[in-house]
Structure 1
Amino acid sequence: MNRVDTVLTSLPMWARQRQLQKLQAAYEADPTSTDKFLAYLQALNKSKPAEVIKQVDSHKFNASPAVMVEYFRALVATDRIAEYADESGTGAGESHRSLSQLMKDVQTRVDGEDGAEAPGQSIKRPLHIVLQEAQRKPSNFFVDLVRGLAWYLLTFLLLSVFFLLGSGLARRYAGAGLRPAGMASQIGTPATPSFAPKEYNKIGTPATPSFAPKEYNKIGMPATPSFAPKEYNKEDIPEKSQKTFKDVRGCDEAKAELEEIVEYLKHPEKFTRLGGKLPKGVLLTGPPGTGKTLLAKAVAGEAGVPFFFRAGSEFEEMFVGVGSRRVRSLFAAAKKKAPCIVFIDEIDAVGGSRKQWDNHSRKTLNQLLVEMDGFEENQGVIVMAATNLQETLDPALTRPGRFDRHVAVPLPDVRGRLDILKYYLQNKPLAPDIDPELIARRTAGFSGAELSNLVNEAALIAAKNNKDTITAYMVDEARDKIMMGVERKSMVLSPESLKLTAYHESGHALVALNTAGAKPIHKATIMPRGHALGMVTMTLDGDREYKITKQQLVADIDVCMGGRVAESIIFGEDQVTSGASSDLQQATRTARGMVMQYGMSDEIGPVYVSGDNTSSETEKKVDAEVGRMLREAYARVQELLTVKEADLHRLARALLEHETLTLNEIKEVLAGTFQRTPIASKTYDVEALLGDVGEMPEPVHQQSPEAPPRS
């Protein structure tokens, strides 16, 4: 055994392979070295003799007697030497060579000549190649057809089996309220398959068509499949709010309370260093349209944290367990994104009192209670919610530790309305006569959403009339449209009905002008709007938004009685109409509030009377006191309008001539200085309609430059 064999035999298998690689690299680097080639062949013959034959037959390296010896060893080891046993050359295997020819080739290569085979010497180097097409059996059309149909049928059956198996698994997991690990929802993938039972009605057809408008995006392509968007796990995709506190107007106190939340989200160590903890939940309460959702978005935008938004109705479904699963998924995603904000709008849909709910509906609320304050703490997750019905929420939800901070978002006061109006008017083309402060005083009781609608309606009126700017008249027209409805110009009224309406509204206006504590008049009109044939609108001052005095309440009752009393004075008690029903209803409501709630009755005294726990005797006293107050108001107004009957005729004539009068115009009519051309499109004769109404100065028909245009 030579030195190479001894070394290779003593090495393990991995070391032998490495040694072979080194020997191969050595002879490939120096192809002219016979010794390196021989060393490689000797090592290769121990494990891969067939590779030795391949290397020598390639004619890439010089051949020596020692190399050819290794070649013969490989032929013997692989039993390839038997191929050269046939001296005739016809049975010499693939090479078609005999042993004598092999020896000649070896001698030629050892002598240093090219041992490559000549063309035609073997099958490896033929003289020419002949390609002959194999004989093809004639095809049978029916046999091929049957084979094709069988193949398609087998494919269809396999696909059907896989589909049915997948459907069964999906229904099983959907019915159990679970989700298999392989169906973990990612962004843009459905959490439940399109064949979920809740997407189909009782007869097995889709409850909503796939072409529902909400399923299509702006370019007309389907944004999502035919099932509802709530089937997607949008709690895994938090929103990035672009709103800030600069976009919130009219609720400075609520905004100041929420700034503490923002400070905690930005710098939590400022609060935790003294052991303090911020409230886990913030409940925003107030009337609709006051900006509760906008406040939550502004908090998330100011803090720069993820904002998870869900509506309360999205948690509830007809299947048991779906709501609680969605609550768990929402809070699980929020914990991964902490610090963050979870906002639940209209939480009364899921957080109502459990005494009024069915058993399966309580599970969603119970899960929400556990997530907010249970065994596991939600560090850095602040839950914000909004509702218009705070009194319906379950006490366990609003207790400290869950929603322990309640932020009231009331209707804006006059300063808040002014701030909101300036915000919405800042990018609009305005005429010089626009006074935001005056508009704010005339829109008492408007929410932020209604003020936004007011400005938008004024802009639409300007666009409809092809105007370049928004004028005060357009804003006033938009206010009347929102409060009273669209002006019904097509409504046909008889002259007698218009005359009665004119005296009715004149009675309201005169009582308001001559009664201490009454609200200031904004305008009087006999043009039908909404369900009313005419009306006198008034403006609240700032103080009346917070408290109302007894004098002001009595004045409100007197103003309500003005229309009915005017009808009785002019037309007689037998000719009064039912048009005063809403006035009497409002007067009765105000008087009952004075007696039962405000303690402003001498008979009942300073006592709050509840409608639920009131004796029959007390109810009789309340009814009697309310009736007395209304009769006294009727008598006061009758005495006042009897004295002011001439003014009643003047104002009614002006309303019939001009249809609408502002406060300044009413004062000019009563003073005899009103100058404006009557409307020429009237279908009735005012003089013939009024007849002899006593001594009144005839108005001078001259166009007033300050008069607002009439459309």
Structure 2
Amino acid sequence: MNDEQDPKENPWMKSMLIWAGVIVALLLTVSMFGAGATAEQGSAMSYSSFRDKVAEGSVKSVAIAPDQISGELTNGDRFTTTPVGNDTGLVKLLDDNGVDYSGQAEETPSIWQYLLIQSLPFILILGIAFFVLRQMQKGSGSGAMGFGKSKAKMLTEKQGKVTFEDVAGIDEAREELEEIVEFLKNPGRFAKLGGQIPKGALLVGSPGTGKTLLARAIAGEAGVPFFTISGSDFVEMFVGVGASRVRDMFEQAKKNAPCIVFIDEIDAVGRHRGAGLGNGNDEREQTLNQLLVEMDGFEANEGIIIIAATNRPDVLDPALLRPGRFDRQVVVPRPDIEGREKILEVHMKKVPIAPDVNARTIARGTPGFSGADLANLVNEAALMAARRGKRMVAMDEFEAAKDKVMMGTERKSMVMTEDEKKMTAYHEAGHALVAVHEPASDPIHKATIIPRGRALGMVMRLPERDNYSYHRDKMHANMAVSMGGRVAEEIIFGYDKVSSGASGDIQYATKLARDMVTQWGMSDKMGPLQYEEEQGETFLGYSQAQRVHMSDETAKLIDKEIRGLVDAGYDRAKDVLTTHEKQLHLLANALLEYETLSGDEIDELIETGKFERPDGDVIKPSEVPSVGTSIPKAGKKRKGPFGGGDPKPQGI
């Protein structure tokens, strides 16, 4: 396409030409009235000086008007002066000094000048009105008085063409949308069997899963006009503006049919009617009503396909979700391991990759990552390689970027005492040792005592494959692993030296035990019944659970079962760590010395008592506490303040 545009087709050029014409006309008018007078007038002179000049014989000629006298001096200079009173002796003075004088009648403008002067204000008002009307008639709605116009933008190839080749990891969603593109390209193939093009498709998925990317791929593949708009662009503070914008958007779409209209974050305008306080926002509900009518009302909109995206389908109005408006609800899930590998390969094409990078390994170590998370991971690895002065992005950068994304940035400036490091090392060693000896636990990927984010240390376990459901034995194993850090502190440092570092572990174990009892039916005494239900709304990112109606006896029994499950995990962790206390010292000393150990190094250390570092050094840590440290022996467990020997809860 030629980049040069005809001024007639360019609205900005047309506006500039109009204003340039107005300015030129004003300048010509001013010059027409002022040019003649400016040319004839000379320097101003007082009336007394004028009489003195006449008496001296320095005045050659004058022209006398009722309110002004102008003339020429003998040296050729022009002058003007204003007479004072009725000077009857002026004519005699001029005669005595031989000055040539004449009378001058008052100038009257011509009929054309008079009409121009009188009509100039009206012309200016008409010009301003014409400009405002032109702005109101603009289809973009960006001009003055254009708040009733749609803000939908037509997507062009200049903004970065995306095709289905750039979409990976969500094959099922991609196939459903490819069918819509195929219908637009070859409608006759489907019309032979009576098939009709879907009127709308709703993309549903978590943030970052690729809903907007899919829409851009449709725009790149369809070959028809593609309008994009956000749900929040419809609603304004003025009542009726949103409905007007919906009407204008569909009018634009009809002129360009067949076409696709993409509404991002449709939940901003499509929320359930009557769900808010005071029966909701009237402006938003009017906008939704107009959208419902335009999508499938009395007047059909042939050739217009509506594609919308949201991560909150539960709040959408049922009338918006019915067939005829959104015929298809396409779920865009978080990718599995195969999908993550394909997504990583797509993003890795944009950066120079070292030979040791294995996309499958990275995909296995990033369960639950969305497409946006994986793109961010590749970008972080590239930035890290650039900071290190490397020419290619190696596996080390990907591992460091993954740790940064999953666990947070290393807090290198944080100063920890030797006792705090020791406490953290034994805490993380307790988690790792219980995970190794629990068959149902996921394998360990890495253990570290380097502070990251809000944690002083961390043991990261990664599943060998994506899990879509969890079994009872794995839940009990996870409960024991979560209690491993607290039990290790108590065994090594004593009851009175247990820290608050296990607060997150206790919270996780309590939540897991509560779900097992109240929602998953994994308590023999409570049976397979649901005692709590998740609420649809979330607060600060956490869904709220609410107990169903139950008796006080049932609530007490539920609390007792939850306590029993957590205590069972505590006992399993204590049994493992007391049986393998030498391995606990071995692993803690290795963490104190090297701060970070991989899962393979931990397995090798526990099995053989030594492990080999990547640099080839064979390390054999001591099986006893480090020399020079003051680790107190496990003291006798005293009774807690709650009686019965129960320890005081920490960090709940």
Structures share a fold, TM > 0.5? yes
In structure 2, C-alpha distance between the alignment counterparts of 1:563 and 1:156, rounded to whole Å: 93
Question: Counterpart in 1 of 2:143?
Answer: 191
Change (3 A) 1:142 1:573: farther
Contact 1:499-1:656 at 8 Å conserved across structures: yes
Aligned-partner SS, 2:286: helix
Question: Counterpart in 2 of 1:623?
Answer: 559
Question: Counterpart in 2 of 1:636?
Answer: 572
Q: When the two structures are aligned, how many residues end up with a matched partner?
A: 503
Question: Counterpart in 2 of 1:246?
Answer: 165
Output one character per residue of 1:106-145: Cα deviation in whole Å (capped at 9) or x when no partner: xxxxxxxxxxxxxxxxxxxxxxxxxxx99897164789xx
Which residue identity does 1:360 align to in structure 2? E
Of 454, 477, 490, 1:531 maps to 454
Is 2:452 aligned against 1:542?
no
Contact 1:657-1:678 at 8 Å conserved across structures: no
Unaligned runs of at least 5 residues, structure 1: 1-132, 171-179, 197-229, 680-684, 695-711
Change (3 A) 1:591 1:505: same
Contact 1:434-1:472 at 8 Å conserved across structures: yes
In structure 1, C-alpha distance between the alignment counterparts of 2:587 and 2:120, rounded to whole Å: 90
Change (3 A) 1:245 1:140: same
In structure 2, C-alpha distance between the alignment counterparts of 1:348 and 1:554, rounded to whole Å: 40
TM-superposed CA distance for 1:577, in Å, is 1.0
In structure 2, C-alpha distance between the alignment counterparts of 1:247 and 1:321, rounded to whole Å: 40
In structure 2, C-alpha distance between the alignment counterparts of 1:141 and 1:402, rounded to whole Å: 85
Question: Counterpart in 2 of 1:405?
Answer: 328
Change (3 A) 1:318 1:157: farther
Change (3 A) 1:267 1:572: same
Correspondences of 1:200-211 after superposition (within 5 Å): none
The structure whose RCO (Cα within 8 Å, separation 6+) is larger is: 2
In structure 2, C-alpha distance between the alignment counterparts of 1:500 and 1:155, rounded to whole Å: 93
Output one character per residue of 1:436-460: Cα deviation in whole Å (capped at 9) or x when no partner: 1111010000000000000110111
Contact 1:236-1:330 at 8 Å conserved across structures: no
Change (3 A) 1:315 1:521: same
In structure 2, C-alpha distance between the alignment counterparts of 1:460 and 1:231, rounded to whole Å: 45
In structure 2, C-alpha distance between the alignment counterparts of 1:286 and 1:378, rounded to whole Å: 27
Of 469, 483, 492, 1:570 maps to 492
Correspondences of 1:73-112 after superposition (within 5 Å): none
Is 2:227 aligned against 1:311?
no
Output one character per residue of 1:412-452: Cα deviation in whole Å (capped at 9) or x when no partner: 00000010011111242222321111110100000000000
Question: Counterpart in 2 of 1:503?
Answer: 426
TM-superposed CA distance for 1:244, in Å, is 1.1
TM-superposed CA distance for 1:591, in Å, is 1.4
Q: TM-score, normalization: structure 1?
A: 0.66
TM-superposed CA distance for 1:165, in Å, is 10
TM-superposed CA distance for 1:581, in Å, is 0.6
Correspondences of 1:282-681 after superposition (within 5 Å): 282-355=201-274, 356=276, 357-544=280-467, 546-610=468-532, 611-617=546-552, 618-670=554-606, 671-675=608-612
TM-superposed CA distance for 1:551, in Å, is 1.2
RMSD: 3.2
In structure 2, C-alpha distance between the alignment counterparts of 1:490 and 1:476, rounded to whole Å: 21
Contact 1:235-1:329 at 8 Å conserved across structures: no
TM-superposed CA distance for 1:181, in Å, is 7.3
In structure 1, C-alpha distance between the alignment counterparts of 2:148 and 2:379, rounded to whole Å: 35
Unaligned runs of at least 5 residues, structure 2: 1-60, 71-78, 84-106, 108-112, 533-545, 620-624, 635-652
Output one character per residue of 1:198-252: Cα deviation in whole Å (capped at 9) or x when no partner: xxxxxxxxxxxxxxxxxxxxxxxxxxxxxxxx89855364545721110101100
Change (3 A) 1:447 1:140: same
Q: TM-score, normalization: structure 2?
A: 0.72
Change (3 A) 1:624 1:164: farther
In structure 1, C-alpha distance between the alignment counterparts of 2:186 and 2:352, rounded to whole Å: 42
TM-superposed CA distance for 1:161, in Å, is 10
TM-superposed CA distance for 1:157, in Å, is 12
Question: Counterpart in 1 of 2:184?
Answer: 265
TM-superposed CA distance for 1:162, in Å, is 5.3
Structure with more helix by fraction: 1
Question: Counterpart in 1 of 2:628?
Answer: 688
Q: What fraction of aligned residue pairs are identical, expressed as a percent?
A: 50
In structure 2, C-alpha distance between the alignment counterparts of 1:231 and 1:134, rounded to whole Å: 67
In structure 2, C-alpha distance between the alignment counterparts of 1:236 and 1:568, rounded to whole Å: 64
TM-superposed CA distance for 1:693, in Å, is 9.6
In structure 1, C-alpha distance between the alignment counterparts of 2:589 and 2:595, rounded to whole Å: 10
TM-superposed CA distance for 1:407, in Å, is 0.4
Aligned-partner SS, 1:351: coil
Contact 1:312-1:349 at 8 Å conserved across structures: yes
Change (3 A) 1:156 1:586: farther
Contact 2:234-2:243 at 8 Å conserved across structures: yes
Question: Counterpart in 2 of 1:235?
Answer: 152
TM-superposed CA distance for 1:271, in Å, is 2.3
In structure 2, C-alpha distance between the alignment counterparts of 1:379 and 1:134, rounded to whole Å: 85
Aligned-partner SS, 2:628: helix
TM-superposed CA distance for 1:270, in Å, is 2.3
Change (3 A) 1:361 1:158: farther
Aligned-partner SS, 2:152: helix
| Greater Rg over alpha carbons, structure | 1
Contact 1:192-1:231 at 8 Å conserved across structures: no
Aligned-partner SS, 2:447: strand
Which residue identity does 1:643 align to in structure 2? T
In structure 2, C-alpha distance between the alignment counterparts of 1:367 and 1:552, rounded to whole Å: 51
TM-superposed CA distance for 1:587, in Å, is 1.0
Contact 2:292-2:325 at 8 Å conserved across structures: yes
Change (3 A) 1:157 1:346: farther
In structure 1, C-alpha distance between the alignment counterparts of 2:130 and 2:222, rounded to whole Å: 46
